[in-house]
Amino acid sequence: MTEVQTKALAGIREQFPVLEREMRGKPLIYLDNGATSLKPKRVIDAELGYYRTNSTNIHRGVYELSEAATEQYDSARAAVAGFVNAANPQEIIFTRGTTESINLVGYSWGRTFLEAGDEIVTTELEHHSNLVVWQEVANATGAALRFLPLRDDSSGLADGAVEATIGEKTKLVAITGMSNVTGYMPPLADIIARAHAVGAVVLVDGAQLVAHHPVDVQALDIDFLAWSGHKMCGPSGIGALYAKESLLERMPPFHYGGDMIERVWADRATYAPLPEKFEAGTPNIAGAIGMGEAVRFLESVGLDRIADHEHDLIAYTLEHARRHSDLTVYGGTGSASRGGIFSFNLGDVHSHDVGMILDSAGIAVRAGFHCAQPLMRRFGIPGTVRASYYLYNTREEIDALFTAFDRVREIFG
Ligand SMILES: Cc1ncc(COP(=O)(O)O)c(C=O)c1O
């Protein structure tokens, strides 16, 4: 790392107040970004600022403060739309997060447009959020679930998987943009091209992808993209669904009530235009404002730069890992097509025990099945330890992680 890069990284770290604290009496090393990211001061200030200086509801007020809140909310939507290069802000629906965004598509698009004889194609790499929803939709509609075959070591899609599985019966491909267990990034462009060639639409679970890599929904021709604010330096309880306008126009609302209507009679109603049609009730105004600020923050750093930094960290990690014969690394040992996620087990020590020893060294990781039980079943294990990186992590923190493994070996050796 050059001196300039080191200074820039220090400048980024300074913006995250939680990085100043200790855990178990040691300087905090936060490697649980796959679960949620830390929040920079400017995002915290934006969210608190709304409560401190405004706090009013949007859309309904005919007074200055409510108009200002509405402007801030709309400007957050525009920022989020620009972040993924949506053609217009109406294609962004604010939700509670990835899980709700996928449910919206399942309940609204899935239950309306799928029927017996249709196929939903997904993978065994998925987070439960992008699997259980489709199991339910399949049960409700009679559509069948099919899985893109994986390589024997589950490190990615098997050769020829896309052509062999996505066919005339496929109506939806629901696939992760980046596995939250292994960091694997499927070849989205190929998958989308194949799906569109057979007339299917594609939902990308962007929970792990969008925060870490530049995503251009128009260039990739993505139909639905779901992601969460809290994994991209934004608040929890807010997320987004991007969907092509032509799809949203044809879909029925997901939730019903105030704000999503145009006119209401005692026995019927008509619905508001996009995006309100999909945002019933008072939304998470402060959360949306915070998510908008998170977007501005990430853009000020640069998504390409963030992706390069994390690629450096994962390559550095895998190089380290090769020197430890008692480490099992999941998802293959190469850093190509892979984000900054390192899933492993150390000898035959249970992942929770490793996690607890790392905790005592001030290192926060996740241990368990990571909401991906089918993948754990494929690996034949109950869980892994997962270290997941973000823009503020350093090579020194990875050195500390590997040093802490010695403590695990001492205790369990
Ligand atoms: C790949 C993936 N999909 C979906 C989710 C669900 O996100 P949320 O809990 O924010 O709805 C997660 C969260 O870890 C994830 O990693």
pLDDT value, residue 13: 98
For the Cβ of 207 lying below 6 angstroms from any atom of ligand 1, the answer is yes
For the Cβ of 95 lying below 6 angstroms from any atom of ligand 1, the answer is no
**Atom of ligand 1 at shortest distance to CA of 179?**
1
**Atom of ligand 1 at shortest distance to CA of 236?**
10
User: 34 alpha carbon to ligand 1 midpoint, in Å?
Assistant: 8
**Atom of ligand 1 at shortest distance to CA of 371?**
14
User: 160 alpha carbon to ligand 1 midpoint, in Å?
Assistant: 28
For the Cβ of 176 lying below 6 angstroms from any atom of ligand 1, the answer is yes
pLDDT value, residue 297: 98
Give the 3-state secondary structure of the chain: CCHHHHHHHHHHHCCCHHHHCEECCEECEECECCCCCCCCHHHHHHHHHHHHHCCCCCCCCCCHHHHHHHHHHHHHHHHHHHHCCCCCHHHEEEECCHHHHHHHHHHHHHHHHCCCCCEEEECCCCCHHHCHHHHHHHHHHCCEEEECCECCCCCCECCCHHHHHCCCCEEEEEEECCCCCCCECCCHHHHHHHHHHCCCEEEEECCCCCCCCCCCHHHHCCCEEEEECHHHCCCCCCEEEEECHHHHHHCCCCCCCCCCEEEECCCCEEECCCCHHHCCCCCCHHHHHHHHHHHHHHHHHCHHHHHHHHHHHHHHHHHHHCCCCCEEEECCCCCCCECCEEEEEECCCCHHHHHHHHHHCCEECEEECCCCHHHHHHHCCCCEEEEECCCCCCHHHHHHHHHHHHHHHHHHC
Residue nearest to atom 12 of ligand 1 (CA): 207
Mean pLDDT of 96-106: 98
Q: Where are the domains of the chain?
A: 3-30+302-412, 45-300
**Atom of ligand 1 at shortest distance to CA of 239?**
10
**Atom of ligand 1 at shortest distance to CA of 178?**
1
| pLDDT, tens only, 155-201 | 999 999 999 999 999 999 999 999 999 999 999 999 999 999 999 99
Q: What integer best gives the mean pLDDT of the chain?
A: 97
| pLDDT, tens only, 212-226 | 999 999 999 999 999
| pLDDT, tens only, 298-339 | 999 999 999 999 999 999 999 999 999 999 999 988 888 999
User: 102 alpha carbon to ligand 1 midpoint, in Å?
Assistant: 10
User: 127 alpha carbon to ligand 1 midpoint, in Å?
Assistant: 7
- CATH no., domain 45-300: 3.40.640.10
For the Cβ of 205 lying below 6 angstroms from any atom of ligand 1, the answer is yes
User: 300 alpha carbon to ligand 1 midpoint, in Å?
Assistant: 25
pLDDT value, residue 382: 96
User: 358 alpha carbon to ligand 1 midpoint, in Å?
Assistant: 24
In the residue annotation, 233 being an active-site residue is answered as no
Report the CATH architecture of 3-30+302-412: Alpha-Beta Complex (3.90)
pLDDT band at 60 (very low <50, low <70, confident <90, very high): confident
Mean pLDDT of 116-130: 98
pLDDT value, residue 345: 98
**Atom of ligand 1 at shortest distance to CA of 177?**
1
User: 145 alpha carbon to ligand 1 midpoint, in Å?
Assistant: 20
Of 371, 378, 402, 409, the active-site residue reads: 371
Mean pLDDT of 246-268: 98
Determine the Cα–Cα distance for residues 59 and 173; give it in Å rounded to an integer.
Answer: 36
Confidence check: pLDDT of 2 > 90: no
| pLDDT, tens only, 364-387 | 999 999 999 999 999 999 999 999
For the Cβ of 208 lying below 6 angstroms from any atom of ligand 1, the answer is yes
For the Cβ of 129 lying below 6 angstroms from any atom of ligand 1, the answer is yes
Confidence check: pLDDT of 34 > 90: yes
Confidence check: pLDDT of 68 > 90: yes
Mean pLDDT of 268-295: 98
Topology agreement, domain 3-30+302-412 and domain 45-300 = no
pLDDT value, residue 3: 87
From 132, 208, 225, give the residue whose CB has the most ligand 1 atoms within 8 Å, as the site to mutate. Answer: 208
For the Cβ of 284 lying below 6 angstroms from any atom of ligand 1, the answer is no
Mean pLDDT of 389-402: 98
For the Cβ of 125 lying below 6 angstroms from any atom of ligand 1, the answer is no
Model confidence pTM above 0.85: yes
Mean pLDDT of 202-219: 98
Percentage of residues in the chain with pLDDT exceeding 90? 97
For the Cβ of 394 lying below 6 angstroms from any atom of ligand 1, the answer is no
pLDDT value, residue 236: 98
With beta carbons less than 8 A apart as the criterion, state whether 393 and 61 touch: no
